[in-house]
Amino acid sequence: MSTREAPTLSPPLASPPSFPFPFPAYSIQKDFMSALFRCLEDSSLGIFESPTGTGKSLSVICGALAWFHAHEDNRRKSIARRIERSRIAAEVDNDGDGDDDWFAAAVEKNKRQEELKRLKVELADLEEKDRRMEELRRRRKTVRMDKVQRSAQEFDELFKEMDEVRRAVRRELDAAAGEGKSGDRFDEQVRTRIEVLGTASL
């Protein structure tokens, strides 16, 4: 005879001993993040205050992200446990197909199959979201490297253009020294030449 298993809730998440902070957190920041974590886990209303300059914004971000990752991981594990229980219950139902109340057993079996299908879809959605997040992190890293390489190329091109301007000025100096131009006229021509080359480089 098949019996319907009562759903079990996952135990509440405990505040982690450490949080993903970009640098060693102060005690006031740790207390802030722990209180925020418990507030989110309990789905309760929280009012937080902290002195100016104690990193409230960063504490909120890190504390919320820590809870979100822990919550998603706990949710994934809970779904996996429920899927396993549904499979075991389905095997028990198959062993009990000879029960007198075959209609009730068939209805219960259908319910378990529907629940198992729903849980598998939910787990697949979570895994797909994890895959997309990993892809975004990979693309972000690739874009960051592309920006670094592009900046290095622009830096090299800038210095190349400056070298060209320097060589052009040197040619003007050599020409002026050879032709014996006056100082004022020469300085004006050099400035004009530099401005023209600089505008062309932009």
Asked whether residue 121 falls in the same domain as residue 51, the answer is yes
Cα-based torsion angle of the residue sequence 5, 9, 10, 11 in order, rounded to the nearest 10 degrees: -120
Residue 146: pLDDT band with limits 50, 70, 90? low
pTM over 0.85: no
Domain that holds residue 161: 151-201
Asked whether residue 64 falls in the same domain as residue 101, the answer is yes
Reduced DSSP (H G I as helix, E B as strand, rest coil) percent helix, strand, coil of the chain, to 5: 75, 0, 25
At 93-134, the pLDDT tens digits run: 666 555 557 777 777 777 877 877 888 888 888 788 878 878
Residue at which a domain ends, from 101, 129, 144 = 144
Residue 5: pLDDT band with limits 50, 70, 90? very low
SS (H, E, C) 61-72: HHHHHHHHHHHH
Higher pLDDT, 41 or 133: 41
Instruction: Tell whether the model's pLDDT for residue 198 goes beyond 70.
Output: no
Work out the mean pLDDT of the chain and round it to a whole number: 75
- Classify residue 2: in a domain, yes or no: no
**46 contacts 35 by C-beta, under 8 angstroms:** yes
pLDDT of residue 12: 80
Asked whether residue 107 falls in the same domain as residue 163, the answer is no
Asked whether residue 32 falls in the same domain as residue 113, the answer is yes
Residue 66: count other Cβ atoms within 10 Å of its Cβ.
22
- Classify residue 140: in a domain, yes or no: yes
Asked whether residue 46 falls in the same domain as residue 138, the answer is yes
pLDDT of residue 148: 66
Asked whether residue 60 falls in the same domain as residue 98, the answer is yes
Instruction: Give the total number of structural domains in the chain.
Output: 2
- What percent of the chain has pLDDT above 90? 15
Q: How far is the C-alpha of 81 from the C-alpha of 201, rounded, in Å?
A: 65
pLDDT of residue 6: 40
